[in-house]
């Protein structure tokens, strides 16, 4: 119920989601509400800092574009560094992460394994400062990706194809091609997510529910 209310725009971006209020409104105990909130936080539809009240994710096109403007060159650089002289351990780990992602169930399972794949590629750069910077930017942008995937199933399919190509290129130590593929992958992602936000297909703060 909570998920549907968020996706339909009935709960506006930035709105607080207090467990006791939701439980009272729905006529249920707080336990299933608490579990639902935890799942929605994992999906990126709700944001929660520490033990404070969860809030509905508030998408911002300007924020998204700024994050990717910084993230794209850094993450594609890390991918190139990871594939310049990749060892077998790294390649096996990347392939295992790719296999897990292809077998992932839609939703939280896919989101977690998608993140695991990219973090594996990132770690292969063996550049701790670069890795830390990109990880921070990924944390900031991941809610947008998770939010968009709930609307755009083609985004997940395109990501699957991109990840497979990245693994194949990494196996050939085609570092510069990996860099270009990752850059194109990130550019395509931000373009699709931006289009969803710009066209109001993703509920913005105060947006009315879409007509059936």
Show me where the domains of the chain are located.
Answer: 2-56, 61-198
Closest CA to 6 of 51, 50, 36: 36
| 65 vs 31: CA distance, rounded Å | 37
Q: Domain 61-198 falls in which CATH fold? A: 1.20.120
**Residue 74 to residue 104: CA distance in whole angstroms:** 27
pLDDT tens, residue order, the chain (212 aa): 787 777 666 787 788 999 999 999 888 999 999 999 988 887 667 888 766 889 888 878 888 999 999 999 999 999 999 999 999 999 999 999 999 999 998 877 888 899 999 999 999 999 999 999 999 899 888 778 777 777 777 888 888 899 999 999 999 999 999 999 999 999 998 998 888 877 654 444 333 333 32
Please tell us whether the domain made up of 2-56 is placed in CATH 1.10.486.10: no
The answer, as to whether pTM is greater than 0.85, is no
């Amino acid at each position: 119920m909570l998920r549907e209310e968020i996706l339909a725009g009935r709960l506006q971006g930035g709105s607080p989601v207090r467990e006791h209020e939701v439980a009272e409104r729905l006529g249920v105990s707080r336990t299933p509400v608490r579990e639902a909130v935890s799942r929605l936080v994992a999906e990126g539809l709700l944001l929660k800092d520490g033990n404070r009240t969860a809030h509905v994710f508030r998408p911002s096109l300007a924020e998204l574009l700024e994050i990717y403007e910084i993230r794209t060159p850094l993450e594609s650089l890390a991918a190139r560094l990871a594939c310049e002289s990749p060892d077998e351990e790294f390649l096996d780990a990347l392939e295992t992460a790719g296999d897990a992602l292809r077998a992932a169930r839609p939703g939280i399972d896919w989101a977690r394994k998608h993140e695991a794949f990219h973090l594996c590629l990132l770690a292969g750069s063996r550049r701790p400062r670069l890795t830390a910077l990109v990880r921070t930017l990924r944390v900031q942008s991941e809610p947008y990706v998770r939010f968009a995937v709930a609307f755009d199933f083609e985004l997940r399919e395109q990501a699957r194809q991109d990840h497979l190509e990245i693994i194949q290129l990494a196996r050939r130590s085609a570092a510069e091609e990996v860099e270009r593929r990752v850059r194109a992958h990130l550019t395509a992602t931000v373009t699709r997510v931006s289009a969803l936000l710009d066209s109001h297909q993703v509920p913005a703060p105060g947006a009315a529910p879409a007509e059936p």
